Chain A
Amino acid sequence: MIKLTIDGKEIEVARGTMLLDACRQAGADIPTLCYDPDLRLAGSCRMCVVDVKGRPALVASCVAPAENGMVVQTESDDVVESRKIILELLAARHKFECPTCEKDGECKLQDYMYRYGVKESRYDGEGPHFGMEDPNPFIERDYDKCIMCTRCVRACDGITGAQAINVKDRGHHAKIAAPFDGKLADSTCVFCGQCIMVCPVGALSSKVAAGQGKPAQNKKVLTTCTYCGTGCTLELNVNNDRVVGVTSNRDENWSPVNKGALCVKGRFGWDFIHSPDRLTTPMIRENGGLRPASWDEALDFAAGKIKEIKEKYGPDSLAMFSSARVTNEENYLAQKLMRAVIGTNNVDHCARL
Chain B
Amino acid sequence: MAEEIRILLAHADQIDPAQAEDYIKVGGYKGLEKARGMTSKDLIEEVKKSGLRGRGGAGFNAGMKWSFVPPAEVKYVVCNLDEGEPGTYKDRIICEKNAQALIEGMAICGVAINAQQGYIYCRGEYPFVVDLLRKAIQSAKDVGALGDFDIEVRMGAGAYVCGEETALIESIEGHRGEPRFKPPFPGVAGLWGVPTVVNNVETFACLPYILTNGADCFASIGAPKYPGTKVLTLTGDVNNPTYFEVPTNYILSDVVYKLGGGVKNGRKFKAVQVGGTSGAFIPEQNLNTPIDFDSMSAIGAALGSGAVLVMDETRDIVDIVTRISKFFEHESCGKCNPCREGTFRCREIMEKINSGRATEADIDNLLLLARVMKRAALCGLGQAAPVPITSTIEHFGHEYRRKLLQYA
Contact = CB atoms under 8 A, between A and B. Distances in A.
Our verdict on whether A and B bind, yes or no, reads yes
Contact of A171 (B337, B344, B349): B344
Contacts of A44: 335-337, 378
Given A86-B337, A123-B345, A172-B332, A41 B181 contact: yes
- Identify the interface centre among A46, A57, A90, A122: most chain B CB within 10 Å of its CB: A46
A171 to B, nearest CB: 4
Nearest to B344: A172
- Does more than half of chain B's interface fall in helix, strand or loop, or is it mixed? helix
Contacts of A58: 375-376
A171 B376 contact: no
B196 interface: no
Size category of the binding interface on chain A: 35 or more
Nearest to B382: A46
A81 B371 contact: yes
Most buried by A among B333, B336, B369, B372: B372
A80 to B, nearest CB: 11
Contacts of A93: 341
Nearest to A172: B344
B331 interface: yes
Contacts of A41: 181
Contacts of A63: 181
A171 B334 contact: yes
B368 interface: yes
A86 B343 contact: no
Given A60-B378, A81-B372, A85-B372, A45 B330 contact: no
Contact of A122 (B336, B341, B365): B365
Interface string A154-171: 000000000000010111
Contacts of A65: 183
Interface in B174-192: 176, 181, 183
Given A43-B378, A123-B365, A89 B341 contact: yes
Contact of A46 (B159, B338, B348, B352): B338
Nearest to A169: B334
A165 to B, nearest CB: 13
A47 B343 CA distance: 17
Nearest to A45: B337
Contacts of A172: 329, 332, 334, 340-341, 343-344
Interface string B361-395: 10001001101101111100001000000000000
A288 interface: no
A78 interface: yes
A148 B334 contact: yes
A171 B340 contact: yes
A148 B337 contact: yes
A47 B349 CA distance: 23
Contact of B340 (A78, A122, A126, A148): A148
A171 B332 contact: yes
Nearest to B330: A171
Interface string A63-97: 11100000000000010011001100110110000
B338 A89 contact: yes
A125 interface: yes
B342 interface: yes
Q: Which of B348, B374, B376 has the most CB of A within 10 A?
A: B376
A174 B377 contact: no
Interface in A158-215: 167, 169-174
Contacts of B342: 89
5 contacts: A41-B181, A44-B335, A92-B341, A125-B349, A167-B334
Q: What 10 pairs across the A-B complex have the smallest Cβ distances?
A: A174-B334, A43-B181, A89-B341, A125-B348, A172-B344, A171-B332, A63-B181, A85-B372, A82-B376, A123-B345
